[in-house]
Amino acid sequence: MTPLIAKGIEKAFGDRFILRGASLNIAPGDRVGLVGVNGSGKTTLLSILAGEQDADHGEVLRDGRHGYLAQAPTLPGQTVGDAIDEALQWHNELLADYDRLLQEGKIEEATTHQDRLDQVGWDLSHRAASVLSKVQGPPRSALTANLSGGETRRVALARCLLGQPDLLLLDEPTNHLDADMVEWLQGYLQGFRGAILLVTHDRYLLEAVANRIVEVEDGQCVSYQGSYTDYLLASVERRGTLEKAEDRRLALIMKEAAWASRSPAARSTKQKGRLKRLDDLKAQRRLSKKESFELDFSTGDRLPGTLIELRDVSHGYGEEDLIRGLDLVVHPGDRVGILGPNGAGKSTLLKILAGSLSPRQGEMMRSGRVKIAVLDQHRTGLPLDGTVFEAAGGGNDWVKVGKHDLHVASFLNRFLFGREYLDQRVASLSGGERARLLLARLLLEGANLLMLDEPTNDLDLQTLRVLEEALLGMDGACIVVTHDRALLDRVCNSVLAFEADGHIQTYASRLQHLGALAKRKQAPPSPKAAAIAPKPAQPSKKLSYKEQQDLKALPQKIEVLEQEVEAMNVVLAEPSTYTERRAELPELTAKLADLESQIEAAYANWEALSERA
C-alpha cells in the first residue's frame, strides 16, 4: 500500500502560479519534511494532498486513512469530547465488525480483526485521555465554539494522533505548543508507525523526525534523501550545478543570437535547425532566483546602561500568582528567552515589560531613551482588508528606514514582496508572508527593545535564519517568548524559566535550565519525604559495620529506583505502548508495582537506620 501519490499538481490564484506540475510519492514509513520559502505553496500543496481543496490540474491518489492538521482547523461536534470521540470512530467500527464476524461464524476474518485490536488496544479511552493531557487540551466538556485558536489546534492535533492514520499530514504542528509539549510530540512522531508529511519551522524536530526532505521550489517538488542537515548540504551542491547549467544556457543563447543577427545564411533552409535550437533554448524556463533579504534592527543610537528594570514584581489573576517577586535588569545586548508551560504567565510578563499591563506589586523603571516595539503571537496590527502596500506604509507612499526615505514599493521589494503583491489584500497572504510583513513594519519603528511573542510561528526556515542574524547583531535588546529550541540556543544569552508558584529563575541558557531540572529530579530524598513511610520498630542497638554501609548506600539506591519508576511511568503514559507493546503490559505493570514496593521498603529502612546512627 502506497499512502499517497500526487502527479502534476498545478494551482494558481488569479494570474499568480503557486504550483507548476508538482509531483510527490509517500511510501509506507516515510517521514518527509516539506520545506520552502513563505508563499512557495507548502500549505496549498498540503491542503490539496489532504483533499481539502482541489488542484487546477493533476491527480492525487490516496490509500488508507490520513490525518490532516491544518493551520486553522475546525472541530466537529459541540464539545471537545465530541471531537475526540469522532476521531475514535474507526475503533468503534473495528469493534463492531469484529462482533459481527463472530456472530456470522467467520472465524478467520474475525481473527484478523482480533489481531488488529490486540495491536491498537481494545479500549482507547485511556489513550485518548493521555494524548489530550499531553497536548494540554481543554476539558472534554468545553464547548468547541468557545475555544481559542491555540486550544482548537491542540485538540485537532490530538484528533490526528488518535485517528491511527496511515499518513499524517501536519502543517506547523508545534504552533501553540510549549517546549515540553514539543519534546513529547517529537518523541511521539519518532515512534509513529505510519508515514508522515510535515511542514514545520522547528529545526530540531525536523532533524529528529525526517528521513527525507522535499523542497517546494518554483512550484515543483525537489526531493532530497536524508535528514535536514543532509538537505542543507545537498541543496547547496544542487543549486551550484543548476546555476552553472543556467550560465551555459544563457551564454549559448547570446552566441546563437549574435550569429542569427549577422549571418544572411541564417535565412536559408539549411540553417533552420540552428534557429530552432535557439528558439528551444529561449523557451526553457529560467532558473528561479534564490531570493533573500536582510533585516537590521540596529539603530546606531547611543543607549543607556540599563534599558528596563523590575524590582520585586508580582502579578496574577484572582488569588493565583503567575509572577512572584521577580527582579530583572535588561541591558543593551541582552537577548532574553522566556520559558514555561502554556498558561504560566509568559505573555503576561511580556505585557508588563512592554508597559501595556501594570503589575499588581513591585515597581518597573524604564530609561527615557527606550523605544519598545512588540510582535504579539496573534499577529495583530495588520489591516486584513487593506493591501500590502497600505499595510507597509500606513497609508503613506514613503517610509523612513534609518535616516533615509524610501518608497514603499522599494521597501517591500527588500522583503521579497514584488510588484505583484502591492495590490494584494493582506487577508490573502500566507501566515508566513504576514509574519514577514510584520517584521518589515517592526524595522520601521526603529526600536531598541524588541518584545517578541512566538515570532517563529509560520516563518519559513530562510526567514527564521534572517531573523536570528538580526537579533544577534542588534545593538539594543530583545525579550523573546518562543517554543523554538534552536532559536533559544543560538540567540538568547539568558533565559527566564517559569517554575512552581509563580517563581521565575534566571539561567544562562536553555540547556542549563534543563540540567537544573534533571539535578532536582535526581536529588537524594529529604527526611520530610521519608517521614511518610511506615515506621518499623526501633531497635536500641547501634549500627553494625554492614548497616553503616547500607545506610550510606541507601540514598543512591533510592535515587536509582525513582529514576526507574519515572522511566516506567513515561513508558506507560505513551499511547504507543498500548498499541505496539500490548503483550508486554502485564509485565510492565508488575515491574512498576515491584519498583514502588522496593522504594517504600528502602525509605522505611533508611529512616530506621538513620534514627539509630
Look up residue 535 and give its DSSP letter: P
The per-residue pLDDT for 439 is 86
What's the half-sphere exposure (Cβ side, CA atoms, 13 Å) at 142? 17
pTM of the model: 0.72
C-alpha cell at 280: 528551444
pLDDT digits (tens, 9 = 90+) for 65-123: 999 999 889 999 999 999 999 999 999 999 999 899 988 888 888 888 888 888 888 88
534 or 556, which is more confident: 556
Give me the mean pLDDT over the 355-376 stretch: 90
Is the C-alpha dihedral spanning 436, 471, 444, 412 positive or negative? negative
- Asked which of 422-426, 518-522, 533-537 is least confident by mean pLDDT, the reply is 533-537
Residue 291's pLDDT band, with cuts at 50, 70 and 90, is low
Residue 403's pLDDT band, with cuts at 50, 70 and 90, is confident
The per-residue pLDDT for 416 is 81
pLDDT digits (tens, 9 = 90+) for 177-220: 888 899 899 999 998 989 999 999 999 999 999 999 999 988 99
Q: Mind spelling out the 3-state secondary structure of 456-521?
A: CCCCCHHHHHHHHHHHHHCCCEEEEECCCHHHHHHHCCEEEEECHHHCEEEECCHHHHHHHHHHHH
The per-residue pLDDT for 613 is 67
CA separation for the pair 535, 553 (Å, rounded): 20
- Asked which of 145-149, 213-217, 271-275, 409-413 is least confident by mean pLDDT, the reply is 271-275
Q: Are 301 and 448 in contact (CB under 8 A)?
A: yes
351 or 252, which is more confident: 351
Question: Which domains are present in the chain?
Answer: 4-70+78-231 (3.40.50.300), 308-518 (3.40.50.300), 527-612 (1.10.287.380)
The per-residue pLDDT for 541 is 58
Residue 535's pLDDT band, with cuts at 50, 70 and 90, is very low
Q: Are 295 and 469 in contact (CB under 8 A)?
A: yes
CA separation for the pair 306, 366 (Å, rounded): 8
- Asked which of 249-253, 272-276, 314-318, 443-447 is least confident by mean pLDDT, the reply is 272-276
The per-residue pLDDT for 550 is 79
Residue that has been written with the C-alpha cell 497536548 in this structure = 135
Closest CA to 194 of 173, 165, 163: 165
Q: 165: which residues sit within 8 A by CB, 6+ positions away?
A: 64, 65, 66, 67, 194
* Maximum CA extent, the chain: 120
The per-residue pLDDT for 17 is 85
Give the angle subtended at the CA of 438 by the CAs of 307 and 309, to the nearest 5°. Answer: 15
The per-residue pLDDT for 529 is 47
Q: Are 11 and 60 in contact (CB under 8 A)?
A: no
pLDDT over 70 at 577, yes or no: no
The per-residue pLDDT for 224 is 93
Residue 493's pLDDT band, with cuts at 50, 70 and 90, is very high
592 or 46, which is more confident: 46
Q: Mind spelling out the 3-state secondary structure of 12-74?
A: EECCEEEEEEEEEEECCCCEEEEECCCCCCHHHHHHHHCCCCCCCEEEEEECCCEEEECCCCC
The per-residue pLDDT for 574 is 63
Residue 396's pLDDT band, with cuts at 50, 70 and 90, is confident
CA separation for the pair 355, 351 (Å, rounded): 6
Q: Are 390 and 417 in contact (CB under 8 A)?
A: no
pLDDT over 80 at 386, yes or no: yes
The per-residue pLDDT for 540 is 44
What's the half-sphere exposure (Cβ side, CA atoms, 13 Å) at 601? 7
pLDDT digits (tens, 9 = 90+) for 424-476: 888 888 777 888 888 888 888 888 999 999 888 888 888 888 889 889 988 99
The per-residue pLDDT for 311 is 94
- Integer Rg of the chain from CA: 30
What's the half-sphere exposure (Cβ side, CA atoms, 13 Å) at 375? 27
DSSP state string for 310-336 = EEEEEEEETTEEEEEEEEEEE-TT-EE
What's the half-sphere exposure (Cβ side, CA atoms, 13 Å) at 483? 24
The per-residue pLDDT for 70 is 94
What's the half-sphere exposure (Cβ side, CA atoms, 13 Å) at 560? 7
CA separation for the pair 497, 501 (Å, rounded): 12
CA separation for the pair 558, 553 (Å, rounded): 9
Give me the mean pLDDT over the 246-259 stretch: 69
Q: What is the mean pLDDT of the chain?
A: 84
CA separation for the pair 495, 482 (Å, rounded): 11
Instruction: Give whichever of 281-295, 424-438, 529-543 has the largest mean pLDDT.
Output: 424-438
Closest CA to 454 of 337, 334, 371, 372: 337
CA separation for the pair 457, 200 (Å, rounded): 9
